[in-house]
Amino acid sequence: MTGTVPDAPVRVRIDLAYDGAPFSGWARQPVLPTVQGALEDALAVLVRREVRVVVAGRTDTGVHARGQVVHLDLTAGEWTALARGRAEDPATALGRRLSGALAHVLGRARREQGLPECPGAIVVRRAAAAPAGFDARFSAVARRYSYRIDDGAAGRDPLTRHLTWWTKDVLDADVMAAAAQELVGLHDFLSFCRPREGATTVREVLDVTVERDAGGLVVLGIEADAFCHHMVRSIVGAAARVGAGREEPGWLGRRLADRVRDAGVLMAPAHALVLEEVRYPGDAALRERAELTRARRDPLHPGPAGPQN
């Protein structure tokens, strides 16, 4: 932190992975257990006050993450105190101590609330002082999700059933891949989103892939600047209808162009969806990216717009 003012707040980046099954989504709720709630409760144990984190992408109930990113702000005193006077970097101390606090929150604390213990459901991958201008949400340039479908070709592995969607339809992955290319680019994804009041449904999809892995699962991967509510699951459900021959390949593109939210698309189950990665620009561009994202306007319907994840 060379060159920082001694009393200036320290922005901290934490990279997380989690199993979404024991939680009612990411966002903190008054009664239900959530990933954010567990993380903030663990942080409060360390710094002895309420802590609020900002997340790169909110995930729904049951959705998992391998590459989630959050930020929080600590005082300079709180940051240095993490090492407890040891010859240890505060970031290293935070990662180690936060893992210990999470073990308590996900174990004994859940048991006392009458909830099943879920040790290891949240893993701290990395903790570090963030570069100047970093914002976990607004500095991001892309989020990447994966979704796994078992249509029988993989042999129905019961040990991975909580991470795959079992469908009775036999799917043509090549047809799905070709049809999904209609979604690449800057579009209004209203047909595939649950709109939030005052938020845009315009997103830029950077890449979509559909292929069978070595075990026979159909794996859909999608990367975009941001995702609106239920967007990935709606796209997966629609692509699966095309892959099963229930709709022709051009149907995905037509639905996109129609910009109508109706019952025509089956929303795929949440439990097979994984946030794999959040990408950021180089350190020098973090502040500019955050400012541009906050100021971004919907190109089709002018008005305030920001990422809805």
Active site includes 73? no
Q: Which of 15, 60, 169, 258 is catalytic?
A: 60
The three-state DSSP-derived secondary structure of the chain is CCCCCCCCCEEEEEEEEECCCCCCCCCCCCCCCCHHHHHHHHHHHHHCCCCCCEECCCCCCCCEEEEEEEEEEECHHHHHHCCCCCCCCHHHHHHHHHHHHHHHHHHHHHHHCCCCCCCCCEEEEEEEECCCCCCCCCCCCEEEEEEEEECCCCCCCHHHHHHCEECCCCCCHHHHHHHHHHHCEEEECHHHCCCCCCCCCEEEEEEEEEEECCCCCEEEEEEECCCCCCHHHHHHHHHHHHHCCCCCCCHHHHHHHHCCCCCCCCCCCHHHEEEEEEECCCHHHHHHHHHHHHHCECCCCCCECCCCC
Please identify every residue annotated as catalytic: 60
